[in-house]
């Protein structure tokens, strides 16, 4: 699980410090919103080809840890 969390970065220089997928400007909240609105992992990956399935898992894990 820890390796998944390494896929998320929070840097004040990137999107004003919002958590993003490492190496991208894709925010965690966007992935969560897509999933909440019914998009499948495959649809998200098609729209954002730089993402990997592990990035989506990392976004979910990050969100889960932060609402505890």
pLDDT at 63: 96
What is the secondary structure of 8-62 as a DSSP string?
A: EE--TTSGGG--EETTS--BHHHHHHHHHTT--HHHHHHH-TT--HHHHHHHHHH
Distance set, CA 43 to CA 5, 19, 25, 27 (Å): 22, 21, 18, 17
Q: Given pLDDT bands bounded at 50, 70 and 90, which one contains residue 23?
A: very high
CATH class of 2-67: mainly alpha
Name the maximum alpha-carbon separation found in the chain. 31
| pLDDT of amino acid 2 | 73
User: Model's pTM, two decimal places?
Assistant: 0.92
């Amino acid at each position: 699980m820890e390796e998944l969390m390494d896929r998320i970065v929070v840097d004040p220089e990137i999107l004003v410090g919002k958590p993003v997928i490492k190496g991208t400007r894709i925010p965690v909240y966007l992935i969560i919103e897509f999933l909440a609105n019914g998009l499948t992992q495959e649809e998200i990956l098609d729209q954002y080809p730089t993402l990997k399935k592990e990035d989506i898992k990392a976004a979910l894990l990050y969100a889960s840890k932060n609402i505890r």
